[in-house]
Amino acid sequence: MSPLTSRRGLLFGTAAVSAGALVTGCTSNEPKQEKAATGDQPSADDKPGKHVTIGFAGPQADHGWLNAINDNAKRRAKKYADVTLEITEGSNDTAAQIGQIETLINKKVDVLVVLPADGKALTQVGLKAMRAGIPVVNLDRIFNTPQAYRCWIGGDNYGMGLSAGRYIGEKLKGKQDARVIELAGLDNLELTKQRTQGFDDALKNYPNIKKVARQAAEFTVESGQAKMAQLLQAQSKFDALWNHDDDQGVGALRAIEQAGRDDFLMVGGAGALSAFQAIKQDNGVLKATVLYPPTMAASAIDLARALGQGKGVGGLAEYEIPASITLYSAVVDKTNVDQYMPTGFR
């Protein structure tokens, strides 16, 4: 995952809309389904309408979550007979991505969905699209000004930390002098700071719990294994671990297995298929993960289609779609893992 600015003030009204709720009911007044969204089911309003050409520009899929973003967008668009998806080759080079978006503007697509490699650097091209009359759905990494997009949709990094902290707090609330550790992501990213802040704020409600160590990794399997090995060597006894990212969690679990440790519980982050499978098997330390749902890309396609067809969001009284939608960081454990299994990314 990549740099985000603070999103805690971006809820429309006071509600946080989950990816599942939006994907299953984005442009209709049909009741929301309880089943978790996969990006495969059409929304309740799947009857063909005005044709919409959606330009999609995302970063290079060099991480399991980013690859899932692209897959969700492509699968979602295929469900609509009235949608054509013009997708660019993902790039982490801001100049290259700007050029790709300008090509989509010149093609006069109806709506743009953009997950910028760098929100600040791509703000001007977002403004250019908006000035050209092409509404922009800004996905996850946010542009510097709301004038550069019509709607923002993304995850809640602070909320991830809150959910992880609350889950661990409830599991350990009866234990005296409980000790927890944290395996964070890249410390130079704002999202990492937000996740840590949410975690720390949640733990303030559990005075019996103390965070005794924190190590930053790099969102990779290799870094997760190396940094987790260091934590295990330094901490001979602790009760819970929160790992910010399920990709680096694969490496962390390798280090834990190599150390022969099983005396604590682990909570992951993001929602990888491998994490869901381990939670379901329930024969190791990983007991839960908090979501940063890549289904947001499917929801962004729904929003773009609604914009192109002049529709609002089902379940809301307003005629227009919201200006921003912050997704909820749900906790997935053995009680609900089957529901979320179809959303897991590889």
d(CA 219, CA 249): 8
Mean pLDDT of all residues in 160-165: 98
Per-residue model confidence (pLDDT) at position 32 = 36
Q: How many CB atoms lie within 10 A of CB 119?
A: 23
pLDDT in the model for residue 290:
98
**Residue 6 neighbours by CB distance under 10 Å:** 14
Is the separation of the CB atoms in 24 and 44 below 8 Å?
yes
Mean pLDDT of 237-261: 97
What are the domain boundaries of the chain?
19-154+293-327, 157-291
Listed residue (187, 190, 178, 346) closest to 270, CA to CA: 346
Q: What is the pLDDT of residues 66-112, one digit of tens each?
A: 999 999 999 999 999 999 999 998 888 999 999 999 999 999 999 99
User: CB-side exposure of 342: number of CA atoms within 13 Å?
Assistant: 11
Tell me the pLDDT of the chain averaged across its residues.
Answer: 88
Q: Which two tokens stand for residue 71?
A: 């897959």
Between 90 and 207, residue with greater pLDDT: 207
Q: For 179-196, give one letter per residue: b (16+ CB within 10 A) or e.
A: bbbbbbbbeebebbbbbb
pLDDT at residue number 4: 37
Q: Around 271, how many Cα atoms within 13 Å sit in the side-chain half-sphere?
A: 32
Please report the pLDDT score of residue 110 as a whole number: 98
Span 298-343, pLDDT tens digits: 999 999 999 999 999 888 899 999 999 999 999 999 999 999 999 9
pLDDT at 12: 32
**For residue 178, what are the β-bridge partners?**
209
Contact in structure between 209 and 168 (CB atoms under 8 Å): yes
343 in Cβ contact with 289 (< 8 Å)? no
The reported pLDDT for the residue numbered 45 is 64
Average pLDDT of span 215-244: 97
Res. 115: pLDDT tops 90? yes
CATH architecture of 19-154+293-327: 3-Layer(aba) Sandwich (3.40)
Res. 18: pLDDT tops 70: no
98-102 LR contacts (CB < 8 Å, sep 24+): 98/122, 98/124, 98/125, 100/57, 101/55, 101/57, 101/125, 101/129, 102/128
- What does the pLDDT read at residue 40? 57
Output phi, psi for 79, to 5 deg: -75, -10
Q: Sorting pLDDT into bands at 50, 70 and 90, what band is 180?
A: very high
Contact 224, 39 (CB under 8 A): no
CA dihedral 280, 281, 287, 292 (to 10 degrees): -40
Cα dist from 331 to 152, 220, 270, 290, whole Å: 23, 22, 10, 4
- Per the document, the length of the chain is 346
Q: Quick one: pLDDT at residue 44? A: 45
pTM of the complete model beyond 0.95: no
Quick check: do 19-154+293-327 and 157-291 share a fold? Answer: yes
The H or E element containing residue 180 is strand 178-184
* Percent of all residues in the chain with a pLDDT value above 90, rounded to a whole number: 79
CA distances (Å), 251 to each of 35, 87, 98, 271, in order? 31, 32, 34, 15
Are β-strands 151-154 and 111-114 bridged in parallel, bridged antiparallel, or unpaired? unpaired
* pLDDT > 70? residue 209: yes
| Superfamily per CATH, domain 157-291 | Response regulator (3.40.50.2300)
pLDDT per position as a tens digit, 23-78: 333 443 333 333 445 555 544 466 789 999 999 999 888 778 999 999 999 999 99
Q: What is the mean pLDDT of residues 223-233?
A: 98
